[in-house]
Amino acid sequence: MFIYKFICRLYSIITYTIENNFLKRVKASSNKLEIEGLEKLKLKNNNLKLGESKQEIKANNYHYRTIYSEIEIFKFLEKLFDENLRNKIKNLTGFNYSIDYFGAYKNFPIISTQRNKGFYANHYHFDKPYSKNLLKLFIPLDTINKDNGPLEIINKKESDLIKKRKINLTSAKKFYFTGDSQDILLCKANLCFHKAGIPKDGKYTNLLMLQLNPSLNWKISKDLYKRQFKIEPKFTSISNLISKYKLFK
């Protein structure tokens, strides 16, 4: 475990340094995203909707993956990442990005006697191994309120204090990602403690997650369809070297 953590940390530092030196396009304008590790945005596109799902896969009793066709995925992403949003994210972070993972899922209530187990990342954690520049982008596919088990995030500043044991998880301030399909959340999930909230009885979470990695140009991985069936890729700067991409129009 120690060796794996060391490798993850080393990988994060190396990729972060390379990206900052060779991929950064402009100076980042968002102190909030840099300091807190998360920022919520409002979409201007009112007609943004995913088409019909292709199938649902039962990962376990409480977690389902929703599978979409390659055509629907590309159509949705072309509309989502219009010029306005691409420029917004580039100005906030300084980078263009490749979209390397598309995962839609539904989480359901976990009975109290099994909540000590991890069924859908329902315990606080950091994502790894990724660059510090990696972004996760979340969009509600149905309206999410406190009863639906929203994503819970502790900002980067307080997460650092937890790692240094200056505060604990219980006392840390938590952000709950509630909203509808017009809301998106940018999150540096490898720098912020976070977890999937557990919905109340009779409710569920319906959420889309995208993984974005710094890139010379905005582009979409052609592997997104088949990656829906698996957990998101690790060591993405390496695993994506053999991927094929589609550039935005």
| CATH at 112 | 2.60.120
Domain count of the fold of the chain: 1
Domain of 144?
2-247
- Cite the DSSP H helix spans in the chain: 2-22, 31-36, 70-80, 83-93, 156-163, 224-227, 236-239
* Cα–Cα distance measured from residue 234 to residue 8, given in angstroms and rounded to the nearest whole number: 10
Please state the φ and ψ torsions of residue 137, each to the nearest 5 degrees.
-120, 125
Q: Could you read off the pLDDT tens digit of each residue along the chain, which spans 249 residues? A: 789 989 999 999 999 999 999 999 999 987 889 899 999 999 987 778 898 888 999 999 999 999 999 999 999 999 999 999 999 999 999 999 999 999 999 999 999 999 999 999 999 999 989 999 999 999 999 999 999 999 999 999 999 999 999 999 999 999 999 999 999 999 999 999 999 999 999 999 999 999 999 999 999 999 999 999 998 888 988 878 788 999 987
- Residue 30 has a pLDDT of 75
Query: What is the pLDDT, as a whole number, of residue 217?
Result: 95
Q: Is 61 left (phi over 0), alpha (psi -120 to 50) or beta?
A: alpha
Provide the CA 87 distance to its chain's centre, in angstroms. 19
Beta strand residue intervals within the chain, DSSP E: 38-42, 55-60, 63-67, 96-107, 135-140, 151-153, 175-177, 183-187, 194-195, 205-215, 219-221, 245-247
